Chain A
Amino acid sequence: SQTIHQWPATLVQPVGSPLSLECTVEGTSNPNLYWYRQAAGRGLQLLFYSVGIGQISSEVPQNLSASRPQDRQFILSSKKLLLSDSGFYLCAWSAEAGGHNEQFFGPGTRLTVL
């Protein structure tokens, strides 16, 4: 069966510090991978998605970047965090299956920038 892992679960970082959040998927090959951010009590905002190794697309301009060094590894990074980067970050994967792409989510990382 497929599983998706995210770490760390929580993170408190000072403004200006770097960030690296990791997401890995097991039990599937060539998944589509996604990074979302969720503000408190709000919906999900898609930040990045990837359809293959080294292929990253950004949905919104921001202070963050993403990389996919391996088929089932997706990393969210920042060189210098801003206060506005605080939020709940969710990684998800899906398989392209006839256009009905159910997404499977990781447990999330709660990031607080102080």
Chain B
Amino acid sequence: SQQGEEDPQALSIQEGENATMNCSYKTSINNLQWYRQNSGRGLVHLILIRSNEREKHSGRLRVTLDTSKKSSSLLITASRAADTASYFCATPSYTLQGAQKLVFGQGTRLTINP
């Protein structure tokens, strides 16, 4: 079942502007992760934020987590053309056998215009 849902589905901005993507989820989690996917490539892990953290930074990335609203946001500051990609949030879930898995949202397709 779908856990994370990103918003917006697509975002197009000018280079140098900030890009904000949002993710909502349904059940309690112990962490939330953001991934990036360049067209036709595999996903690359960007950042993990734990449920007891409200905000986390990594370079030009800033992630927030609001467990009361079951939502997270990814902010990319001073965007560059190379940031053009799809961005996915992922939340942990458990299989019937008790193994942990990640459930991915549908993604936000970000386009940075030069």
A interface list, Cβ under 8 A from B: 32, 34, 41-44, 46, 49, 51, 57, 59, 88, 90, 92, 96, 99-108, 110
Interface string of B33-62 (1 = CB under 8 A from A): 101000011111100101000000000000
For A43, give its contact among B42, B92, B97, B106 (CB under 8 Å).
B106
- Contact at B109–A99, with CB atoms within 8 Å? no
Given contacts A41-B109, A100-B31, contact A46 B42 (CB under 8 A): no
Establish whether residues B43 and A100, one from each chain, have CB atoms under 8 Å apart when the complex forms: no
Q: Which residue of A lies closest to B94 (CB)?
A: A99
Indicate with 1 or 0, residue by residue over B86-114, a CB within 8 angstroms of chain A CB atoms: 00101010011101111111110100000
Say whether, besides A49-B99, A96-B100, A108 and B33 are in contact (CB < 8 Å): no
